[in-house]
């Protein structure tokens, strides 16, 4: 296979990382909402943890993007 074509396929495959990030972010906000609706009093105290969980989750998906960029431009 040609190198250029293989690079494109590899970069595309690296974007599968977004599946996990999507599930993770959905989980973070879903769990927060269900927790917040059960105990609205405690909801405001947990926004820091919410945003932190969101950022940590999102980063794993973005590592996939970085790998894709590395495959496309660095090699």
What does the binding site for other proteins look like in residue numbers (CB under 8 A)?
A: 48, 51-52, 54-55, 58-59, 62-63, 65-66, 69
Smallest distance from other proteins to CB 54, Å:
8
Cα–Cα distance measured from residue 57 to residue 20, given in angstroms and rounded to the nearest whole number: 8
What are the structure tokens assigned to 10, written together?
Answer: 């590899």
Cβ 61 vs Cβ 17: under 8 Å = yes
Nearer to other proteins, 23 or 52 (CB): 52
Smallest distance from other proteins to CB 41, Å:
17
């Amino acid at each position: 296979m040609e190198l250029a074509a293989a690079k494109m396929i590899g970069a595309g495959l690296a974007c599968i990382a977004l599946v996990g990030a999507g599930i993770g972010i959905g989980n973070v906000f879903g769990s927060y909402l269900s927790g917040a609706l059960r105990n609205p009093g405690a909801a405001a105290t947990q926004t820091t943890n919410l945003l932190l969980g969101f950022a940590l989750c999102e980063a794993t998906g973005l590592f996939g993007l970085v790998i894709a960029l590395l495959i496309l431009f660095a090699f």
